[in-house]
Amino acid sequence: MGQGYEGVKVRLIPMEIDRHFENALRWINDPHNTQWIGTLDMPMSRLAELEWFEARCRAGRSEANWAIETLAGQHIGFSNLFNIDFVNRIADSGSMIGDQSFRGKGYGSDAARVRAKFAFECLGLHTIFSSYFEENEGSARMQAAAGYEIWGRKPRAQWKRGAHRTLVHTYLTVERWRELNPV
């Protein structure tokens, strides 16, 4: 297997500055990438992105952050668990396929399945939560393919690109994950 956690199409590996930072900086400043993520569309300086990136690399027990690489070793995005709560055995999750040529081809879904396997088998979590903007059909398909189910919507939850956007909230339980991924 090598370093990281491997799926059918991708491997989740620890984020490394020398290996993944330049892509992170480029992707976070690309309007095509940021249209669907829950951040302000503000330019990110090298220093600001480096501070964020280093903080993710040093993260403690409340988050797990990975670079998504193809099995051939090409860096295509990032995936994470955050707000990890070991008492209630829950966490929030998110991902971004920054290399647009890999979108819509199952790489994000595979990364979400690998992330879920880590959350459920390694951390002992019970439920993972996520969300996406209602108009983001790619994220909707990716989460559904990974087994996430919709639990609600938050209308007009976030201002993004000239409009208030509705957030669709999703969850994946360990039972659902096991049903979809039998041993």
Domain count, the chain: 1
Contact 69, 11 (CB under 8 A): yes
CATH number at residue 53: 3.40.630.30
Q: Which band of pLDDT confidence, cut at 50, 70 and 90, is reported for residue 2? A: low
Chain segment 61-92, per-residue pLDDT in tens: 999 999 999 999 999 999 999 999 999 999 99
* Block residue for tokens 């971004």: 96
Q: Which domain holds residue 85?
A: 5-180
pTM across the whole model: 0.94
Residue 11 has pLDDT above 60, yes or no: yes
